[in-house]
């Protein structure tokens, strides 16, 4: 049992920086901070979660750019009238 635990220690240590980064991402994206940090620390599940985070952030960026573009279109239309 101890050998199994010691095998997971390096994996957990390597994922701590990602958990810290996901803490700040979750706060900026208004998501559940504890869930994002815990899912970042669970070995093997964290790989699937990192894929989810990548797509979540990409979709959030695209939606933000669409809102900015729509606001610029509205303001440009108001100035040309």
CB 42 within 8 A of CB 14: no
Residues 6+ apart with CB under 8 A from 26: 32, 33, 35, 36, 37
Distance CA 51, CA 34 (A): 18
Higher pLDDT, 63 or 11: 63
Q: Is pLDDT above 70 for 67?
A: yes
- Domain count of the fold of the chain: 1
pTM to 2 decimal places: 0.78
**What is the domain extent for residue 46?**
2-80
Residue with tokens 């994206």: 29
> Would you place residue 4 in the very low, low, confident or very high pLDDT band (cuts 50, 70, 90)?
confident
Distance CA 37, CA 10 (A): 17
């Amino acid at each position: 049992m101890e050998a199994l635990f010691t095998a997971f220690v390096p994996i957990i240590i390597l994922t701590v920086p990602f958990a810290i980064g996901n803490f700040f991402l979750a706060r900026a994206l208004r998501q559940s901070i504890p869930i994002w940090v815990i899912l970042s620390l669970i070995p093997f599940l964290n790989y699937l979660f990192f894929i989810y985070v990548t797509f979540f952030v990409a979709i959030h960026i695209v939606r933000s750019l669409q809102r900015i573009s729509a606001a610029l279109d509205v303001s440009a239309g108001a100035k040309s009238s």
